[in-house]
Amino acid sequence: MSSSDDPQRALVIGEALIDIVSRAGEVNDEHVGGSPLNVAVGLARLDRDVDFLTHIGDDERGRRIVDYVEAAGVQLVTGSTDAARTPTALATIDEHGSAQYDFDIEWQLTGTPEVGPPLVLHTGSIATVLEPGCLATAALLETYHPSATVTFDPNVRPGLIEDADAARSRIDRIIERCDVVKVSDEDLRWIDPDRPPEQIARTWLTLGPSVVAVTMGAQGAFAVCAQGMVRVPVFQVDVVDTVGAGDAFMTGLVDALWSLGLLGAERRRDLARIGTEALTSVVRTAALSSALTVSRPGADLPDRSSRDAALKSAILG
């Protein structure tokens, strides 16, 4: 159970796993991973209070995940360690630092988390498309939508999807219940290969979200809101690998909106009226969070002091 009923908390729902990293055909390392886990840890490193609902085993790998999230200050929700085994993902890193994943995962949720109503609820990736747990994830979005800002990153894993049309339908339904959506151009090529990212983002904006942000790799990022579109170039860094880049962007997006006082259901109208100047600042912060993460190995998301120092330096520069 959460240690606090303070509404100024985030609830993150989604998978946690162990990434088994392979380079040049050899296993080099194992480390804690999972897109929602990275967002939970990233927010905690930015001094946000976070509850995390997941599905891992009470085994050696599961205990490693528990230690990792708790060390970051994340509160693991009761019932998160009931899986038969802890999920894994074999991450094969190519010569450009990009990762391809092969998953061994079961995703299930039961009941409503024993936490107070959050200020913001984030979910995404495997948790929103893999049965049977994806059905419970969708139900929890409905439960918390009246009180919380809902954020979503599809972070598509095609290798786990047996019915592409069903997965796309699930993504569409979640977007209708979201306030903020972050998606990569790679995800969009899978979700809707026949339309350009800008057109898809504008369409999604009409379905319910107040902000839709799209990351474009080396081409930077753009975001759309009711007031228009903004674009932010990529920060130039030496890329070690891209693991966690999108999760860092999502974390930065949520944190920046939080700092502007735009999270929580009672601020939904204010979020819907966000201007392009404020949105540019939000996306810039998110892009910098991503840049800092790709400049070091693994999903090592920045803490507040290093992120804010880098942001200040970037602005002054």
Helix, strand, coil percentages, rounded to 5, for the chain? 40, 20, 35
Tell me the mean pLDDT in the region 209-234. 96
Q: Quick one: tokens of 91?
A: 């991450």
DSSP code, position 170: H
Rounded to whole angstroms, the Cα distance separating 128 from 8 reads 24
DSSP code, position 32: E
Q: For residue range 4-35, list pLDDT tens digits in order.
A: 445 699 999 999 999 887 776 777 788 899 99
Q: For residue range 71-108, list pLDDT tens digits in order.
A: 999 999 999 999 999 999 887 877 776 777 788 999 99
pTM of the model: 0.92
Asked whether 4 and 49 are in contact (CB, 8 A), the reply is: yes
Q: Quick one: tokens of 175?
A: 């977007």
Sequence spans of domains, the chain? 10-316
Contacts of 228 (CB under 8 A, 6+ apart): 276
Q: For residue range 112-170, list pLDDT tens digits in order.
A: 888 888 999 999 999 999 999 999 999 999 999 999 999 999 999 998 898 999 999 99
- CATH class name, domain 10-316: alpha beta
Tell me the mean pLDDT in the region 232-255. 88
